[in-house]
Amino acid sequence: MDLHTVTSYRAAHTRADLALAPGERILGGGTWLYSEPQVDTTGLVDLTTMGWPALEESAAGLRIAATCTIAELAAYRGPWRAAPLFHTSASALLASFKVWNVATVGGNICRGFAAAAMVSLCSALDGVAEVWTADGGTRRIAVEHLATGNGTTSLAEGEVLRAVDLPAHALHARTAFRKIALAELGRSGAVVIGRVDDDGAAVFGITAATLRPGILRYPRLPDAATLRADVDALDGYYTDPLGTADWRRAVSATLAEEIREELGA
């Protein structure tokens, strides 16, 4: 879509370049930005020219730059047991390969949609977002708390997502993934990701079915009744044309139990 109100474009090379003038918007991949009219936008500031490495491995884990594309992350294998989850999670994103090669991990997270595949992935793996604040500072926040609703986040005006850090303990975990949608190629109605860490701790992430991520944590894999009760008790199940709240709650519990059985085998 043509953004007919845009009259200026700037390529950002330093953090100072990310200070926005009235009417300016940060441009990452642009797949959402160009999908509908942006009547209040008069200028674009390109984040992709900052030159950030897409993926950085260390003993602490994996850093994913906000400008890393979905395709780059999906193709990554690395030394981590949980790495195959990257491609699986990306496949839950309702998008063509063209979008995969342009859309960014940071853009998907910053939009904060309930069915955002990168929110599903990063919240289930204890991802922590590094956010550059408008006053020149930095704050860190768990991705599960960054997304606050269907299309809303805790990002303040002028803040920029720099990267998401996935910790080594989560990347070493055994993982399992389930997704369901009412249509074969439809947007996710529920996404459930489970993992068991080396110390036996278990985590279940419920997304797409709820307005914001629901993360359940246990010292060990729970029994079926406990997990079912906890999934049912999560708040934020919602109704839209792609599914009712009751359906989303029911299928989330079913998928979570499948994952519990898989990880317990």
> How far is residue 138's CA from residue 136's CA, in Å, rounded to a whole number?
7
Q: What are the respective helix, strand and coil percentages of the chain, to the nearest 5?
A: 30, 30, 40
- Condensed to tens digits (0 to 9), the pLDDT of residues 201-234 reads 999 999 999 999 999 999 999 999 999 999 999 9
- Condensed to tens digits (0 to 9), the pLDDT of residues 131-167 reads 999 999 999 999 999 999 999 999 999 999 999 999 9
For residues 41-48, average pLDDT: 90
Query: Kindly report the CA angle at 205 between 204 and 207, in degrees rounded to 5?
Result: 150
For residues 49-55, average pLDDT: 97
HEC sequence for 208-248: CCECCCEEEEECCCCCHHHHHHHHHHCCCECCECCECHHHH
The pLDDT of residue 81: 97
Q: Do domains 55-169 and 170-264 have the same CATH topology?
A: no
> How far is residue 255's CA from residue 57's CA, in Å, rounded to a whole number?
31
Tokens of 244: 């009712």
The pLDDT of residue 7: 87
More confident residue, 26 or 175: 175
How many other CB atoms sit within 10 Å of the CB of residue 136?
A: 9
CATH C-level class of 55-169: alpha beta
For residues 180-208, average pLDDT: 93
pLDDT band of residue 1 (cuts 50, 70, 90) is low
pTM of the model: 0.94
> How far is residue 168's CA from residue 147's CA, in Å, rounded to a whole number?
22
The CATH number given to 170-264 is: 3.30.390.50
DSSP, res 131: E
- Condensed to tens digits (0 to 9), the pLDDT of residues 63-116 reads 999 999 999 999 998 999 999 999 999 988 766 767 778 899 999 999 999 999
Question: Would you list the domain boundaries of the chain?
Answer: 8-47, 55-169, 170-264
